[in-house]
Amino acid sequence: MTTIQAEAERKAKERVYQRAYREDHREQLKTYRKAWHERNRERQLALMKVWRGANRERKSASDKAWSEANSERKRANDKAWREANPERAQANRKAWVLANPEKRKAIANAWTARNREQHKAAGKAWKDAHPERCKENGRAWRLANPEKTRATAERHRARKLNARGASYTTAEMIKGRCEVWGNRCYICGGPMEAVDHVIPLAKGGTHWPANLRPICTSCNSRKGAKWPIEEV
Ligand SMILES: [Zn+2]
């Protein structure tokens, strides 16, 4: 046996021994390693920082490669970090949302589309659990959106009576129609308070914009479902 062969054999034996030793003392070695890192924490961190500063490109490339190869672990690590640093995580999230409003919207829309049923169920569950707040929200929305509210109410009434145009006429169209009349009652010229079906729905009038005009409450109650209008 040559010296080189003997040396190779010795090294191979040494490796086998080392591996067996590591396997037999796994826990103990782990403890040592941990203790060493704790003792040298500051130094290690400083060294790593210097290395990262000098190898920025390599560091980000290797981070990226690692993330791609370990997407599950990456996600778990990120999640653990967020849970350990809730405030910083929230600040990061906020900053990202501010910097990427379009992406944020796209993600939210995609989520809703993917989870339509779940989204609906969550909404319903919330409503069932908070009937009072739900009512309050509805009231506030109606106060803030009087035109849409009126249009919806009129549409429901028109649908009930099977009026033509009921599913066609939008709040926007009704608004345009009232603007034609200067948003004033078409009978007395007072401030507009409601939308009238000139030919009443009860008399077969339609819900097409052509049959809609702004009206005040008092003219509206006097007119009621009378037709022709000369009777008012
Ligand atoms: Zn009037």
188 domain-assigned: yes
Q: Is residue 71 part of a domain?
A: no
What's the CATH number where 150 sits? 1.10.30
pLDDT at 140: 95
For residue 116, report the distance from its CA to the centre of ligand 1, in Å. Answer: 46
CA of 138 to the centre of ligand 1 (A): 29
Residues 6+ apart with CB under 8 A from 58: none
Asked if residue 197 belongs to a domain, the reply is: yes
CA of 149 relative to ligand 1 center, distance in Å: 21
Which pLDDT does position 191 carry in this prediction? 94
DSSP element (H, E) containing 213: strand 212-215
CA dist 191 and 28 (Å) reads 87
* Cα(182) to centroid(ligand 1), Å: 13
Rg (CA), the chain: 37
pLDDT digit of tens for each residue in the chain (232 aa)?
688 888 889 999 999 999 999 999 999 999 998 998 889 888 888 988 898 888 888 888 888 899 889 989 999 999 999 999 999 999 999 999 999 999 999 998 898 889 888 889 988 999 999 999 999 999 999 999 988 898 888 889 888 888 888 888 999 999 999 999 999 999 999 999 999 999 999 888 999 999 999 999 999 999 887 777 665 4
Q: Which amino acid is at 15?
A: R
Range of the domain at 172: 143-231
Overall pTM > 0.75: no
Confirm whether 149 is domain-assigned: yes
Count structural domains, the chain. 1
Q: How far, in Å, from the CA of 172 to the mean position of ligand 1?
A: 22
How far does the centroid of ligand 1 lie from the alpha carbon of residue 156, in Å?
A: 24
pLDDT at 150: 86
Q: Has residue 39 been placed in a domain?
A: no
Compute the distance from residue 220 Cα to the ligand 1 centre, in Å.
Answer: 7
**CA–centroid distance, residue 123 to ligand 1 (Å):** 41
Work out whether the CA dihedral 38, 44, 46, 48 comes out positive or negative: negative
pLDDT at residue number 154: 87
Tokens representing residue 73 in the block: 């672990």
91 is a domain residue: no
**How far is the centre of ligand 1, averaged over its atoms, from the C-alpha of 228 (Å)?**
17
pLDDT computed for residue 230 by the predictor: 64
Q: Are 180 and 198 in contact (CB under 8 A)?
A: no
Under 8 Å between Cβ of 190 and 163: no
Q: Is residue 9 part of a domain?
A: no
Centre of ligand 1 to C-alpha 141, Å, is 27
* Residue 217 in tokens: 């409450």
What token pair was written down for 194? Answer: 């409601």
Ligand 1 centroid to 232 CA: how many Å?
Answer: 11
* 148 within a domain of the structure (yes/no): yes
Do 207 and 164 meet the contact criterion of CB atoms below 8 Å apart?
Answer: yes
Ligand 1 geometric centre to CA of 226 (Å): 15
Please give the DSSP secondary-structure letter assigned to residue 45. H
- Cα-to-centroid distance, 215 and ligand 1 (Å): 5
CA of 153 to the centre of ligand 1 (A): 20
Give the C-alpha distances (Å, rounded to integers) separating 108 from 98, 115, 177. 14, 10, 36
pLDDT value, residue 218: 94
